[in-house]
Homo-oligomer: A and B are copies of this chain.
Amino acid sequence: MPDQALVATVAGAVDVMDGLMQPRPLTIAHILERAERLYAHKHVTTAGTERHTYVDVVQHARRLATVLDSLDVPVGARVATFASNNRRHLELYLAVPATKRVLHTINIRLSSEHLEYIVNHAEDDVVFVDRRLLPRIRPILDRMPRVRHWVVLPDGSPTDIRPDPRILDYDELLSGADPFAGSFEDTFVLADENLASGLCYTSGTTGRPKGVLYSHRSTVLHCLGTLAAGLIGLRESDVVMPIVPFFHANAWGLPYGAMMAGASLVLPGHSAEPAHLLQLMQTERVTVAGAVPTVWSSLVPQLREYDLSATRFLLGGGSAVPPTLSETYRAALGVPITHSWGMTEVSPVGAIGGTRTQHEQATPEERVAVRAAQGQPLPLVNVRIVDVDTGRELPRDGHAVGELQVSGPWVASGYFRVGADESYTDDGWLRTGDLATIDADGYLRLVDRIKDLIKSGGEWISSVELETAIASHPDVAEVAVIARPDPRWTERPVAYVVLREGSGGTADELLQHITPMVAKWWLPDDIVFLAALPKTGTGKLSKSSLRESMRMG
């Protein structure tokens, strides 16, 4: 049987056969060519003003491929983007990995120090920058000497581009290039599916940012996960709007997912103004949109002024979606915000919330509680909870609380130029740093970040549960609970609250409101009112900044 590979992977097994299936790799090149062949007529709209078909976008990507060759960008080199969600950025999403370079998406809200660190650490060869963001780059250009080319993406802004041999223009490069006429997919062999395709640094609220290096295989499998019906379920009839930035953990897989499914894409461009986003959702009849809770929250005041009747699915992630926020959307649009649990290390989507058939008979209140959970893992993803001290796996009974760990073919095994560090277990699972329960139906419920738990008198207080209780008061716009060192109790909770404009809640009122909801000894020692809470570069609440300012007094 010379046609069958013989492998012996099982101890004590006889010779075992491989299946006789075609050795076709899973590649982003397939996503590109599938969109070109099946969905040429579908649209990519940027900011409501620019409209291209998929065949246009792919033709640009084919030109970009030869541009990268002519710039002598080596295969495997990192090609970075510093850009908003726009059509040219999508072309980079396609052409860079389809030509076996690595797409490094950089957070445009990073500090100059972090930006410089990340570009140098990634050893980016070329960086593509939105024209309006060039002023962020120019002052530190000389501190990133390995970058050979800075390519400006025209974005309608009049930002001055002073002549500099290092700075090139995207549209000029493309108009001077022939499109690659062959099949990208045919240039890949099976082993290539493991090639690095993308690089994204974690936001690094503690310590140095660390790079997650995705492969073609992981990206395509994650993409199939976003297509699975009944979960996110991207489909041809969708109009998908990633409000979540392209640099925020691959925009949760929405760009590749939409293209593989054949859905049209609506890209908001650089503006995150509520009126702009809502207008786009109305005009383009967006069916699926994804954004962090703070963005969803920002749209609430104007939600009923727009016709959002095309909406099918709203995705929330990055941090927990407050049930009150989700319910506000459900009341206004008939569509709740479905929580998607993920991490940069998980490509990012690991689990999808929402109700299932077993909740059909549940009361409305019970269904709200189900929707507040992080949900069930996607196909191919496994989750477990382990005792933080002993590392022993805990039961899936909905009660035991342990560190959430995750494994699967789109979960990282280490970090770029670092490898597997303390974030990974000996058996190769990712430690999430989240405390969670898992119930008998496989539903995850995050209890808290391990480092955000408050240890008071030898017992634990969940900052998240306190926040949820406080956020249920109608006057509260945002809330964060952190630990204050306490000589007697070790730590005690303190709440930082932003009130809604025009409302006048007091600390006493809030304490009264939550008293029936939590144990008496959980009541915060202090409620501090702020005009705004500190955020990280991806718009997440930064508890480390709050702790810092508390420490500074």
> Hey, which bits of chain A sit against chain B, CB under 8 A?
1-5, 7, 9-10, 13-26, 30, 34, 37-41, 74-77, 100, 102, 185, 187, 189, 191-192, 194-198, 212-218, 220-221, 224-225, 227-231, 233-237, 260-262, 356-358, 376-377, 379-380, 382, 396, 407-420, 428, 430, 440-442
Contacts and interface: CB of A to CB of B under 8 A. Distances in A.
B224 A19 contact: no
Nearest to A10: B75
Given A9-B189, A14-B76, A75-B13, A356 B262 contact: yes
A415 B233 CA distance: 35
Contacts of A419: 1-4, 20
Contact of A20 (B37, B192, B212): B212
A213 B24 contact: no
Contacts of A410: 21
A41 B1 CA distance: 44
A311 to B, nearest CB: 16
B230 A356 contact: no
Interface class of chain A by DSSP: loop
Nearest to A188: B9
Given A229-B229, A408-B24, A420 B3 contact: yes
Closest 5 A-B residue pairs measured CB to CB? A19-B215, A230-B235, A3-B419, A229-B233, A16-B76
> How many copies altogether?
2
A37 B378 CA distance: 12
B441 A19 contact: no
A5 B376 contact: no
B38 A441 contact: yes
B24 A407 contact: yes
A194 B23 CA distance: 9
24 contacts: A1-B417, A3-B414, A3-B419, A7-B192, A7-B194, A9-B192, A10-B75, A14-B75, A16-B75, A19-B196, A20-B213, A21-B217, A22-B413, A24-B408, A30-B380, A30-B382, A38-B441, A221-B224, A224-B225, A224-B227, A224-B379, A227-B227, A227-B229, A229-B235
A377 B33 CA distance: 12
A217 B442 contact: no
Given A13-B75, A34-B379, A192-B9, A19 B197 contact: yes
Contacts of A24: 380, 407-409, 411
Contact of A5 (B194, B217, B233, B260): B194
Given A356-B236, A407-B24, A18 B227 contact: no
Contacts of A76: 13-17
A355 to B, nearest CB: 10
Contacts of A233: 229-230, 233, 235
Contacts of A13: 74-76, 100
A42 B149 CA distance: 56
Contact of A412 (B2, B21, B430): B21
A133 to B, nearest CB: 27
Nearest to A430: B22
Contact of A396 (B37, B228, B262): B37
Contacts of A430: 22
A501 B238 CA distance: 45
Contacts of A440: 40
Contacts of A417: 1
A418 to B, nearest CB: 7
A230 B224 contact: no
A190 to B, nearest CB: 9
